[in-house]
Amino acid sequence: MGLTLAQKIWNAHVVRPMDSDSDLLYVDMQLLHEVNTPQAFDDLRAAGRRVRRPDLNVGTEDHNTPTVAIDKVIRDPAGRRQTTMMRQNCEEFGIPLHRLGDDTQGIVHVIGPELGLCRPGMTIVCCDSHTTTLGAFGALAFGIGTAQVEHVLATQTLVSKRPRDMAVNITGHLRPGVTAKDLVLALIAQIGTGGGQGHVIEYRGEALRDLSMEARMTLCNMSVEAGSKAGLIAPDKMVYGYLKSCPGMPQSADWEREVAHWETLRSDDDAVFDKEVTIDASTVLPHVSWGTNPGQSVALDGRVPSPLDFDDPTERVAAERALAYMELKPGMAMRDISVDTVFIGSCTNGRIEDLRAAATVLRDRKVARDVHLMIVPGSAKVRMQAIAEGLDEVFREAGADFRPAAGCSLCAALNEDRLRPGQRAASTSNRNFEGRQGKGSRTHLVSPPVAAATAVAGRLALPTDL
């Protein structure tokens, strides 16, 4: 029987089997940020251990860091403490750190690719659930907890449960104006937030070949919102083209050899997946979430559903609760929902292509008077690129708040950027749980073009509505 891509990568990294369902895996790269890591370093220190391969660990500062006044002391005490510890820990253990203010700093999942830290066939872990993003490069990349971080620091290996395999077959092609964000929201609405539980999703199908690296990263990023361990896409020319210009890549003959190896990284024709679903990309419309999990999403053309629309009792109760929290009435047109905040950023949609898409909509237009449009680049590099292309001018002219520093910002409200209770945002991020953007805040997940159009209209809107 043939093997799936995920199985091939997994098998190539098994140091030794542990028990019937888990293996000790070699980890090619561990990425770190300031949340969830201080404890791992403390425990390492307490056990008198060193970091086995400081060269295969890389840190950044992203969750707690401010996006304004970055030259001042971080005001929030928790943020200040975690960032300080990150700096001390990386210094003490010899791990390279991309600090706030550096040209290479940014959200961990955005800088990983930029710095050429992820290549096809690698195993990559990070103390963060959206590590799945890096599956866009044909790597097996997933989030781990604090105790596992310590284990990887000490040994560069990890005990992990063998995942099952799920194929998401994407047929057809996305319509103009429909993005990878819409595709993944539609997928999660179809399979549910537990649809990928225990599985690695491999996205397959011709439609993928049209998708840019940014779009593929958006898709893989949100795989975790379907409950999956990882999401990946077999590498192709698009991946090689992206990587070619990244730092540290092999040159000439070595590069050719590497590419020849990457070409073998695909599922065998007779590989068997434990689960398989199909989604026709040509039927996907721009999507927006109405509830408090990413699966509670509908087409923007649609209406807020009624709990009675759900046959499953658990889903019905969840819908009732979500509608109460979101203060929405069944049957209301999604387009009639007005917002006071729009956030464009995060590891889902804070890349240059996302900022370009927003700028295309905002050019020669103004943000609605009562709306605060906050645009936070995913990395310092994205920010510099946006400025080089004059996007910052477009944002300023439109009345948007283009932040001078990169980070997670309003995606998780772990720094000073947060909504007040009752505020409502359209957000290009990935999670819309209760209180995600601040206590009592309400979030509608959208794509970058919809976010920009919504900022102009003051209510959920498509660019074609303007």
Ligand X SMILES: CC(C)[C@H](C(=O)O)[C@@H](O)C(=O)O
Q: Which residues contact ligand SF4 (rule: CB under 6 A)?
A: 62-63, 107, 109, 128, 130, 346-347, 408, 411-412, 429-430
Distance (Å, whole) CA 347 – CA 102: 18
13 binds, among ligand SF4, ligand X, none (CB under 5 to 8 A by kind): none
Residue 273 or 343 having the CB closest to ligand SF4: 343
DSSP states of 409-455 as a string? GGGTT-SS--PPTT-EEEESSS---TTTTSTT-EEEE--HHHHHHHH
Name the binder of 267 from ligand X, ligand SF4, none, CB < 5-8 A by kind: none
List 2's β-bridge partners, or say none.
271
- To ligand X, the closest distance from the beta carbon of 412 in angstroms equals 5
Residue 265 or 355: the one with the smaller Cβ distance to ligand SF4 is: 355
Q: Which is nearer to ligand X, 7 or 57 (CB)?
A: 57
- 208: region left, alpha or beta (phi > 0 left; psi from -120 to 50 alpha): alpha
Cα separation of 307 and 309, whole Å?
5
36 interacts with, out of ligand X, ligand SF4, none, CB within 5 to 8 A per kind: ligand X
Could you tell me if 287 and 185 are in contact, meaning their C-beta atoms sit under 8 angstroms apart? yes
By C-beta, is 179 or 428 nearer to ligand SF4? 428
Min dist. Cβ of residue 52 to ligand SF4 (A)? 25
The distance of closest approach from Cβ of residue 62 to ligand SF4 in the complex, given in angstroms and rounded to an integer, is: 6
Contacted by 417, from ligand SF4, ligand X, none: CB < 5 to 8 Å by type: none
The residues pairing with 425 across neighbouring beta strands, listed in sequence order, are: 341, 443
107 binds, among ligand SF4, ligand X, none (CB under 5 to 8 A by kind): ligand SF4
Give least dist CB 262 to ligand X, A: 28
Nearer to ligand SF4, 208 or 408 (CB): 408
Q: How far apart are CA 247 and CA 115, in angstroms?
A: 6
Report which of 229, 261, 86 is spatially closest to residue 158, judged by C-alpha positions: 229
**How does strand 157-161 pair with strand 22-26?**
antiparallel
Minimum CB separation of residue 204 from ligand X in Å reads 26
Nearer to ligand SF4, 23 or 225 (CB): 225
Least separation in angstroms between residue 129's CB and ligand X is 4
Is there a contact between 219 and 232 (Cβ–Cβ < 8 Å)?
Answer: no
How far apart, in whole angstroms, are the C-alpha atoms of residue 218 and residue 235?
16
What number of other Cβ atoms are within 10 A of residue 382's Cβ? 26
Binding site for ligand X (CB under 6 A): 35-36, 63, 128-130, 143, 412
The span from the CA of 52 to the CA of 236, in Å, is: 33
**Contact of residue 122 among ligand SF4, ligand X, none (CB under 5-8 Å per partner type):** none
> Closest residue (Cβ) to ligand X?
129
Angle at 451 between CA 449 and CA 456, to 5 degrees: 95
Residue 143 binds which one of ligand SF4, ligand X, none, with CB within 5 to 8 A depending on kind? ligand X
Which tokens in the block code for residue 290?
């109405």
Q: Which residue number, 128 or 258, has a Cβ lying nearer to ligand X?
A: 128
302 binds, among ligand SF4, ligand X, none (CB under 5 to 8 A by kind): none
Q: How far is the CB of 421 from ligand X (least distance, A)?
A: 20
